[in-house]
Amino acid sequence: MIPFADLWPIILGWAIAVGSPGPAVLAIAGASMGAGRKSGLALSFGVWNGSIVWASVAALGFGAAMASHAWMFETLRYLGAGYLLFIAFKSAKSALGGSAAHITPSSDSMGRAWRRGFLIHVMNPKAALFWGALFAVVIPQSAEKAAVVQVGLSCLFTSLVVMSFMAIVFSTRLMAQSYLRMHRVFDGAFAGLFGFAALKVVTSKLV
Tell me: the pLDDT tens digits for 103-131?
444 445 688 899 999 998 888 777 776 77
Sort 156 into a burial class: Cβ within 10 Å, 0-12 / 13-18 / 19+.
middle
Domain spans in the chain, listed from the N-terminal domain onward: 20-203
Q: What integer is the mean pLDDT of 26-45?
A: 88
pLDDT digits (tens, 9 = 90+) for 67-106: 555 666 667 667 767 777 877 887 788 778 755 554 444 4
pTM over 0.85: no
Please give the backbone phi and psi of residue 76, each rounded to the nearest 5 degrees, phi first.
-65, -35
Upper half-sphere CA count for residue 84 (Cβ side, 13 Å): 29
pLDDT digits (tens, 9 = 90+) for 153-186: 999 999 999 999 989 988 887 876 776 677 677 7
